[in-house]
Structure formats: structure tokens, C-alpha cells
Chain A
């Protein structure tokens, strides 16, 4: 039964993609997409329950034994990521029923979206390095398609930058895989854990740095993040939301996986480098956000600064810090996707995303203003929302290691986040509309209003829920962290008992 459980989310996503492709000319495709996402969420929940009950589960594809065949494996982190991916997919596909234009649907928006989710799920569940590369490509090619769907001029410009930079990172990643195979003779992640210990440590560190750069581009860390704010503000809002929520987090997930399971020999160098990267990412991201004057571009720069927090957790490599990183990952996917969805509604009712050209949202649409404040405050780290606990754990972890400067940076970046959020609040919500109109939610068609607001309310409710009752979530994050730092259960699940 567990053998079927692991590939199930990926299979559901692909089946939905194919079905949606056949029905793309009708309105059925959007509901197929919603139904497929809901099924995925259910499958993910069953998987998570299984992993929490009996530890990491693994399945060998084609029944080849572990180091030779392709392994699918889920530990607590992977299972949690699958659930959260399903949740994001449900929210965004409901939102997309009202957000995506007829023309984009005809071109196969829903199929591309589901293929993207399949790629993300695959990347979380695979236990094989080359397979990870293949899932990355599935994810990338569908994200390329989604990014330029609609074909506005600004999308072409953003697309060229996004595509070229991502291709470079892919090539670096592929070269790293080739060299690692040459050094160790295996590509199974669990097998690599043992194989790199007998390899030349200098060579392994060089390869680790190649992976760091390759995944670093995908995760948009300093100084490799420039493609992100250049691209994420141009496509449809539901596309932006799923990119912002999920795509960069796959890079972070890959970093966490590789730098806890495989590259743990020279932590003084690799994780020291990660610590610098984390701090600089936080600072440059938030400074970039402060300089922008477009709703979605501010949010895009915030993604960069928040990635810094997750990398910080990985760099510190203590149980508490890893738990913080996992907690942050989950919290940030929900909050960030939600903020982009709010930006989409604001764009609809106020007629733009340039902060100079919109305003009066608080007066005209107070409910939307309230819905904006929840994820915005959570992102900045206000209690009692989910972001507060995520930041609290990470700051506590760096204080435990007596890294005062790091803790101070994390806190200062939180303050700066509030500053740039007040910029959005002040100009888009509080100030009167420059055109003199009063944007109201009633200006939306009644059917669209429900599909647009329901996901936002749902995600905001989850944010509040995590904030008010953090214990079970922290417990799961702590368990994920323990499994990452001591992967013996993971190794046994994949390879069987070792002498």
C-alpha cells in the first residue's frame, strides 16, 4: 500500500493535466483542475499521516533494488511539503477559475499548471539525484510556459531573463551531478550519504559548491536572485502566486536535502558560506523591497529576503534552527501565495498595481484591507500570527549559538519588512485613489467574487490557526529537523538494514 502512496500525488497531477488538456476549450478544465488539486491534497494528507505514524517510507520504481533503480522516498519534511503543495494547488486553482482569461485557458493554462505541480511533487518525493534533475526540468518547462502565457510584451522581456538564467543554473546542477557520479559511482541520495565519506574531501567540497550555486539560483539567494524580481510580477496573478509560493522553495528544499544528507563533511566551509549568503540575502532583499513602488515587485523582493531566513536555519545546523527553517518554509508558502492573491484582487478592483496609480482600497473595500493585513503582518513577524513563531525560533537558535549579529540582522530585516508593507498600506489602501474613484469589491461579478476571495480567506485562516495553536506544527517541524540531522531512519527506509 505504501508503494502506491508515494507516486500517487505525482500520478494524480499528471492525470489531471492530461484530462484538462482534452477539455481545455470548455469550462470543464478549471473544475477538473480544482478536483485534481483536492485529490492531491487528500493523497498528501494520507502520506503525511503514514509517515508520522511509522517513519520515513520508500518505494522502488520498477522493483529495482535501492542504489540501482529510482527511489521515491518521503520523510517528514517531504511529506509536509507535499501536503502544503496540495494546499497551495487547491487555493490557486480555485482562484484561477475567476482570474485566468478564456484565451489562456484555451492555450492550456490548467494543463501547464498541473504539470508544474507534478514537477514540484516529484522534486519533493524523489530519492535520486538525476531524477531530481528531471523533475526540476518538468517544473521549469511548465513554468516557462505559464510565465509567457498571454504574450504581453513585458512578459516576453521577463521570460527571456527567467529562461536564460534558469538554464544556466540547470547546466551547473547537471555538471555537478556528472562530477559527483564520477567521484562516487552512485546517484542515489541515501547511497551517496555513505559514498562521499570515502571520497576525496577537497573534490567533494568543490562539487558541493557547484550544487550550492546551482540550487542557489533556483532558490534566489544573494547574489543570484536578480531574475526573480525581474520576472515574478509579469504573468497572471494566479501564476505569480504559485511561483512565489512554491518554485523558489523547491530550490530551498533541494539545498536542505543535499546539505544535510550528502554534503556534511566540511560544514565549516559550506555552512559557513551559507550563513553569509543567508544574511546578505535577507538584507539585500528587504532593501530592494523598500526601493520599489509596484505592489507585486515589492512582494517579489520580499520573497528574496524571506529565503534568507530559511537558508539561515540550514546554515546554523542545530536541531532548533532546522526546525525553524522547516516551519518557515511552510509558513512562507501559505503567506506569500496569499499576498499575491490579494494583489490580484487589488489589481482588479483598483485597476492597477503601480502604487502611484491606485488607492482608496481601505475606504472602498475594508474587507480586502483586513485580508491583506493578516498575511502582511504574518510576513513581518507580528504575534500571534504564523510568522512570529517562525522568526522567534530562528532568532532563538542564533542566540543559542551566540551569533548576536545574525540575530540582530534577522530582527532588523523584520522591521524593514514592516516598513515596506506600510508603503503598500499607505499608498494602495489608505491614500485616496488618484483617479477619484472608490474601488469596491461589489464591482466584481458575484461569481468571481466568491472564487477570488474564498482562497484568500482560507489561507488567512490557516495563518491565524498556525499562529494561535503553534504546538502541533512546531512538533512536526522538530521531528522533521531531527530526521534531517540524523538521517538513519531515512537511510534504512531506502537501502534496508546495513551491517
Chain B
């Protein structure tokens, strides 16, 4: 199971890098989304994928029975997904506003903050 997930992480990263090499900023953002999902899967896989019982605490017991799945990677991934969602929503709006004000999505043409004739 880990092997298959590892393959998937690799495929996602490869696709992400391909997208991020594009000059189009929107494609770059899609690449970022892919690679962040790859990172989430990576946490999930490295935490250990086991076909164990769900990590539920029986009524009245102080701790779950032994032999349950590790719940921590899921908690971590959940947090990371929420944070990632917020960041990507922001980045998408930012790129949209950038497109509106600069009229381009080509990163080579975005030279306002670093004009080519500034270094002299």
C-alpha cells in the first residue's frame, strides 16, 4: 500500500514541477496545489498506512484499545489541508487582481517591482 501511495506522490510532484516551470502564473499556482497535495499524501504515508481498527476510545475508558490506527497523521493532514485551502484561495485572488492591474499572466512580463533598468 505504501508503495502505491509513494508512486502517486512521485507522479504528483512530477506533474507539479512540469506545471511550475511554465511562465504562466496560473499554471504555476495549479502546480503548487498539486505539490501541496503530494506533501499531504507524503505525511499520510510516512505516518504508516495500516488496516487497523479506527482510533476510537470506548465509553468510560481512558485510552483506546491497543491495535488501533495512528490518528495523528490524519490530524496533521487535516490541519495542513485547511491551511493550504486558505493560502490557495488568497493566491488565486491575488493572481486575479494581478491580472486585472497588470494585464498579463506571463511572469516574464511582471517587471514592475524589479524593472530591468533599475540596476545601474
Q: Which residues of A contact B (CB under 8 A)?
A: 130, 133-134, 137, 140-141, 144-145, 148, 151, 153-154, 156-161, 163-164, 167-168, 170-171, 174-175, 177-179, 181-183, 229-231, 233-234, 291-294, 297
How near does chain B come to A353, taking the closest CB pair, in angstroms? 12
Asked whether B113 is an interface residue with its Cβ less than 8 Å from the other chain, the reply is yes
Binding site for A on B (CB under 8 A): 25, 28-29, 32, 35-36, 39-40, 42-48, 72-73, 76, 79-80, 83, 86-87, 90-91, 94-95, 97-98, 101-102, 107, 110-114, 118-120
- Chain B residues whose CB sits within 8 angstroms of the CB of A148 once the complex forms: 94, 97
- Cross-chain contact A181 with B113 (CB below 8 angstroms): no
Pairwise interchain contact A160-B94, C-beta atoms closer than 8 A: yes
Q: How many A-B residue pairs have CB under 8 A?
A: 113
Q: Which residues of chain B have C-beta atoms less than 8 A from A168's C-beta?
A: 32, 35
A157 pairs with B102, CB closer than 8 A: yes
Cα(A32)–Cα(B66), bound, Å: 51
Cβ–Cβ contact A156 & B47, under 8 A: no
Measured between alpha carbons, how far is A175 from B28 in the docked complex, in Å? 19
Contacts of B43 in A (CB 8 A): 174-175, 177-178, 181
A206 to chain B, nearest CB (A): 13
Distance between Cα atoms of A294 and B114 in the complex (Å): 11
Pick from B76, B79, B94: contact of A178, CB under 8 Å: B76
Residues of A within 8 Å of B119, CB to CB, are: 291-293
Q: Judging by beta carbons under 8 Å apart, are A140 and B87 in contact?
A: yes
The main secondary structure of chain A at its interface with chain B is: helix
Q: Is the CB of A157 within 8 A of B112?
A: yes
- B118 and A151 form a contact (CB under 8 A): no
Are B39 and A164 closer than 8 Å at their CB atoms? no
A167 to B95, CA, bound (A): 14
Determine if A161 and B113 form an interchain contact, defined as CB atoms under 8 angstroms apart: yes
Across the interface, which residues of B come within 8 angstroms of A181, CB to CB? Answer: 43, 46-47, 72-73, 76
**Residues of chain A within 8 A of B113, CB atoms compared:** 154, 157-158, 161, 230-231, 233-234
B42 contacts A175, CB within 8 Å?
A: yes
**Which residues of chain A are within 8 angstroms of B110 by Cβ–Cβ distance?**
157, 160-161
> How far does the alpha carbon of A230 sit from the alpha carbon of B35 in the complex, in Å?
24
A164–B79 touching, CB < 8 Å: no
The reply to whether A156 and B94 form a contact with Cβ atoms under 8 Å apart is yes
**CB nearest neighbor in A for B48:** A182
- Contact, CB under 8 Å: A141 / B87: yes
Complex CA–CA separation, A130 to B112 (angstroms): 36
Expressed in whole angstroms, the Cα–Cα distance for A413 and B4 within the complex equals 51
Cβ-defined contact, A154 with B80, below 8 A:
no
> Which B residues are in CB contact (< 8 Å) with A229?
114
| B76 with A144: CB separation less than 8 A | no
Q: A151-B97, A171-B39, A174-B39 are in contact. Are A164 and B76 (CB under 8 A)?
A: no
- Report, nearest first, the 6 A-B pairs whose CB atoms are least far apart: A182-B46, A178-B43, A157-B112, A158-B113, A156-B98, A154-B112
Could you say which residues of chain A place their CB within 8 Å of the CB of B101?
Answer: 151, 153, 156
CA distance A134 to B87 in the complex (A): 12
B80 and A174 form a contact (CB under 8 A): yes
Query: Separation in Å of the B44 CB from the closest CB of chain A?
Result: 8
Neighbouring B residues of A293 by C-beta, 8 Å: 118-120
Chain A residues within an 8 Å CB radius of B91: 163-164, 167
A-chain residues with CB within 8 Å of residue B107 when the two chains form the complex: 160
B73 touches A167 (CB 8 A): no
CB distance from A330 to the nearest CB of B (A): 30
CA of A233 to CA of B113, assembled, Å: 8
